Amino acid sequence: EGTATSGGRRVLAAEAGNVPVAMTPWNQQSLIVFFNRCIEEVAVDPGDPYSGSIRRIIEPYFGCSARDSVVSVGQELFFQDQFGQIRSLLQTVNAEQAGVSPDPLSRAISAIIPGRMTMSSLAKTRGVVFKNRLLFAVALDGLTEAFHVVVFNLAQKRWEGLWKLPRAVRQFMVSN
């Protein structure tokens, strides 16, 4: 496990079976690397990004199930973990620092997520933000494609609904 420099590039070497799922910029100076079983931060030194960067685990218990489930809203990142729960990275990090188990954002709708999730199709989850709402397309009730969308209102910090769609969501495209 560790970080190595090879031919002018960073190599993220993870433990066996813990593979990178997604990577996204965070806090102007860091990259968040979502593995399937944990989340790491790579703090990048602008003066020497190869030897001056620091890699640390920021969430040892939860990883990310789907690259397309990662949604950035300002300094916040939302994602679906490997157990099907929708999580807030800031909420997760703050709870870990306080020494408590972080509650998932989807706790209020646990009968749906993860209750009705098709666990073998977690990788089909897609997330997007649109007009102050988080939309997550998910596979439910044994379906192998994402025919349902759960909606979270960011301003009111509450779940608003579950939409059933006539066709599976394979990609989100949002325009004004």
Pairing of strands 148-153, 126-130: unpaired
- Stated pTM of the model: 0.85
Stretch 9-29: mean pLDDT:
77
30 pLDDT exceeds 60?
A: yes
The single-letter DSSP state of residue 102 is P
- Collect all residues with Cβ–Cβ distance below 8 Å to 7 and sequence separation of at least 6: none
pLDDT of residue 159: 97
Q: Which range has the worst mean pLDDT, 81-90, 150-159, 164-173?
A: 164-173
pLDDT tens column, 103-116: 999 999 999 999 99
Q: Tell me the pLDDT tens digit for each residue of 77-95.
A: 999 999 999 999 999 888 8
Write phi, then psi, for 21 (nearest 5 degrees).
-110, -40
d(CA 91, CA 12): 25
What tokens appear for 167 in the block? 């066709």
In tens, the pLDDT along 42-71 reads: 988 777 767 778 888 988 889 999 999 999
